[in-house]
Structure 1
Amino acid sequence: MEHVKRIVRHLLMTHLQVRRAFPQETLRAIEHAISASESTHIGQLFFAVEGALSATSLFKGLSARERAVEVFSQLRVWDTEHNNGVLIYLLLADRSVEIVADRGIHAKVESREWVAVCREMEAAFRRAEYQRGVVAGIQAISQHLGRHFPAQASGRNELSDRPVIL
């Protein structure tokens, strides 16, 4: 029964609903938060939101985590000099957040720490506090990146700070 409910949620999700949750001012605030974050470390953050999965993906039972890994690869978040790219992926129809971290940072931060950040963001999303949830998630991830990949004079921005709506 839960599988059927999930399919219905995804089929009913519209681009307009995604834009209501993430209007331009929210996207700009997220971009600014990523930019400010990256001034404190050499890690690379990327935020992507997807309204719903395709019907094919739904019927195959693709999880938010599996989709996040696909997006991580498609957006080339893994392609950073220090292998320290981090994708924050939101599947809006499920209100599910996934963090996919490249091997350089994944080796230094335990999975349970990423999961804790995801659950905090999801709690904010349940209250329809999308901007607050994403910005708080960026700040939490930045603490890990700052600890393990502190800012350097030679650090450069390898990934766009601009959020992506898929």
Structure 2
Amino acid sequence: MGSRLARLLRHRWVDERSVRRALPAEALDRLEAQVAQSERHHSGEIRVCVEAGLPLSYLWRGAPARERAVALFGKLRVWDTEHNNGVLIYLLLADHEIELVVDRGLDRCVPAEHWATMVRELSRALRAGRFEEGLSQALAAVDALLVQHYPLAGDAPNANELTNTVHVIA
């Protein structure tokens, strides 16, 4: 019960100011530019979502960050790309957790253990409070996989099916 209450308070305490301290506007702009640059080399779509804390309904039932990330994967329409190769990079600031939710096209190309290893490695920067660095590393890792499995053919531009803006939920 104590840890559940502590988590509830932590998630209610983290707000928009906390997000702005962790990722100021300039950091969000750099991440957005990194997404745009990445998508010039592959047909995949990357969305970055940063959430201050989970909604009460998730906290009440003790839901993990992964459950929320999967819900946002659908809500932000990352699943709805032409080649089924969208990736959501989700940061839950209150828990310093990162989740990678990958659409079925790319997921078939990369073993599940590879994704789990990536998340473990990226979590180190986040737990140390290096949020921009952790998200930038996540973007670079996802970019490398998308370039490997979904390179653009010739001079064909990426259709950019999703916005490159970092989605912030405070």
Please list every run of at least 4 consecutive aligned residues from structure 1 whose deviation after the TM superposition is greater than 4 angstroms. Answer: none
Task: Please say if 1:161 is aligned against 2:170.
Answer: no
- Per the TM alignment, residue 117 of structure 1 is displaced from its structure 2 partner at its CA by 2.0
**Aligned equivalent of 1:39:** 40
Q: 1:101-134, CA deviations, whole angstroms, 9 ceiling, x for partnerless residues?
A: 1110011111221222222222111222111111
What is the CA-CA distance between 1:154 and the residue it aligns to? 4.9
Please give the alpha-carbon distance, in whole angstroms, between the structure 2 residues aligned to 1:59 and 1:29: 35
In structure 1, give the amino acid aligned to 2:15: T
Structure 1 unaligned segments of length 5 or more: list them.
none
What is the root-mean-square deviation in Å for CA atoms of aligned residues?
1.2
The 10-residue stretch of structure 1 (65-74 or 7-16) with the greater mean CA deviation from structure 2: 7-16
TM-score normalised to structure 2 length: 0.93
* Aligned equivalent of 2:108: 107
Q: Partners in 1 of 2:32 and 2:158 — Cα distance?
A: 18
Q: State the alpha-carbon separation in 2 of the partners of residues 33 and 154 from structure 1.
A: 16
| Pairwise CA distance, 1:15 | 1.4
8 Å Cα contact 1:120/1:137 also seen in 2: no
Shift of 1:52: 0.4
Letter of the 2:26 counterpart: E
Contact 2:47 2:164 in 1 (8 A): yes
Q: Equivalent residue for 2:72?
A: 71
Q: What one-letter code is carried by the residue in structure 1 that aligns with 2:140?
A: Q
Check conservation: 1:83, 1:104, Cα contact below 8 A: yes
1:52 aligns with 2:69: no
Q: Distance in 2 between matches of 1:11 and 1:71?
A: 19
Aligned to 2:98: 97
CA distance in 1, matches of 2:50, 2:158: 27
- Is the CA contact (8 Å cut-off) linking 2:39 and 2:158 kept in structure 1? no
Aligned residues: 166
Residues 97 and 126, structure 2, Cα contact 8 Å, conserved in 1: no
Q: What is the aligned partner in structure 2 of residue 30 from structure 1?
A: 31
Give how far 1:74 is off: 0.4
| SS state at 2:8 partner | helix
Distance 2:45 2:132 in 1: 19
| 1:139 equivalent in alignment to 2:140 | yes
Residue in structure 2 matched with residue 129 of structure 1 by the alignment: 130
In structure 2, what residue type is equivalent to 1:64?
A
Q: Which amino acid aligns with 1:31?
A: E
